[in-house]
Amino acid sequence: METTNFVYNLIPNETIAIIVISVIPLIFLIVYALLAILGELKISAWIQERLGPMRTGPWGILQPIAEVVKLIQKEDLTPDSANKPLFNLAPYIIFMGAYASFAVIPFSRYFVPSGINIGLFYIFAVGSIAVIGIVMGGWASNNKYSLLGAMRSVAQIISYEIPGAMAILSVAVLASSLDLEKINIAQEGGIWNWFIFGGQGSWSKIWVFPFTLVLSLIYLVASLAETNRTPFDIPEGESELVAGYHTEYSGMKFAMFFFAEYANMFVVAAVLTITFFGGWNSPFGNFMQGPGWDVFWFISKAFFFVILQIWLRWTLPRLRVDQLMYVGWKVLLPFSFICFLFISLFKMIN
């Protein structure tokens, strides 16, 4: 089936259509961030046998809005000794990196903001922009904790991008494409055709299943590291670095860091969904399959992985920086290479 963007059909004027297309993910992102913050608050509360916020609105569901209002009201401090242009720019660059990824994330076969044919590559490329923002923020704060956090963050994100990229590359091999739409379409026809089970094909693909499973786990771990979530929240490791690279930020600028973190969580969850878990496809073949259902399946799968990240955060302790490097370079990287090699061989033989 040929994919199109329904907005172009609705709005004849191309300029307005483009603006609308780029705003829709932003609106989604804001709504999602509020939901994710609420989820973080409530899930952590349930894990810890608390009630969580209960005062704002019924069962505290308006709490995220209250938090946003609080952050907007707060004084926007810039330290005296900070490098002001870089300090002020950093949060926006980090957010930009996260938001730019939404340009290629296909929510449905009728809504792909930008259907470029190197979508996977693009996500990895713009995802790295966040590193620049983190270094800028950490260095410009003129705070030793921020600097340590930024240094750790760069080391961490760079080392974890490689195993993550290897995992994703194997999907590109299986799908023979970097285009996220094509990857989605290649997984049509029920749960059995998802790339975690080797994609479409004959029974011989069972050989590939262990490798794709390992790769999906590797990507999950790497994505946790890339979004600086526990057990890899070393750059902002609260107990040693106070708040890491965003120690000196307050008010809206801090909110941007916060927002970017949640946006990044969604991006990695979306990539995981698209590459291994069928993207917009229904797990039941043609049942519940269609443009409308696409959005439902895609968002629910992505939310599942977001919730998984939240769940892990409230369960696990934090690794140390050298152990993190050890896991990245000596465990994940060799395994991802081996799996990638096997999947490539399998693809060649088939």
Partner 1 sequence: MGEKKRIELDYSKIESDRMRLNVGPQHPSTHGVLRLEVELDGEIVTEVVPHIGYLHRCFEKHAEKMTYPQVIPYIDRMDYVTSMNNELPYVMAIEKMLGIEVPEKVQYIRVIMCELNRIASHQIAVATFGLDAGAFTPFLYFFRDREYILAIFEKASGARLLFNYFWIGGLAADVHPTFKEDVLAIVKQVRKTNKEIEDLLIYNKIFIERTANVGILPPDVAINYACSGPVLRGSGVKFDLRKNEPYSIYDRFDFDIPVGMGEVGTVGDCWDRNIVRMREMEQSCRIIEQAIEQMPNEGDVQEKLPKKIKPPKGDIYMRAENPKGDLGFYIVSNGTDKPERVKARGTSFVNLSVLPEISKGYMFADLILILGSIDIVLGEVDR
Binding site for partner 1 (CB under 8 A): 44, 47-50, 144-145, 148, 230-231, 233-234, 237-240, 242, 314-323, 326-327, 331
Q: Are 204 and 328 in contact (CB under 8 A)?
A: no
> What residues contact residue 344 under an 8 Å CB cut-off, 6+ apart?
170, 173
Instruction: Using the minimum distance from each CB to partner 1, give the nearer residue, 132 or 151.
Output: 151
Q: Residue 46: how many CB atoms within 10 A of its CB?
A: 13
Q: Are 177 and 183 in contact (CB under 8 A)?
A: yes
CA distance 96 to 335: 32
Shortest distance in whole angstroms from residue 75 CB to partner 1: 19
Shortest distance in whole angstroms from residue 285 CB to partner 1: 39
Instruction: Using the minimum distance from each CB to partner 1, give the nearer residue, 2 or 322.
Output: 322
What angle is formed at CA 189 by the lines to CA 184 and CA 194, rounded to 5 degrees? 55
Structure tokens given for 243: 């708040």
Instruction: Using the minimum distance from each CB to partner 1, give the nearer residue, 39 or 231.
Output: 231
Shortest distance in whole angstroms from residue 327 CB to partner 1: 7
Shortest distance in whole angstroms from residue 43 CB to partner 1: 11
Instruction: Using the minimum distance from each CB to partner 1, give the nearer residue, 44 or 344.
Output: 44
Instruction: Using the minimum distance from each CB to partner 1, give the nearer residue, 14 or 322.
Output: 322
Structure tokens given for 43: 């899930």
* Nearest to 41, CA basis, from 73, 64, 20, 19: 64
Shortest distance in whole angstroms from residue 182 CB to partner 1: 38
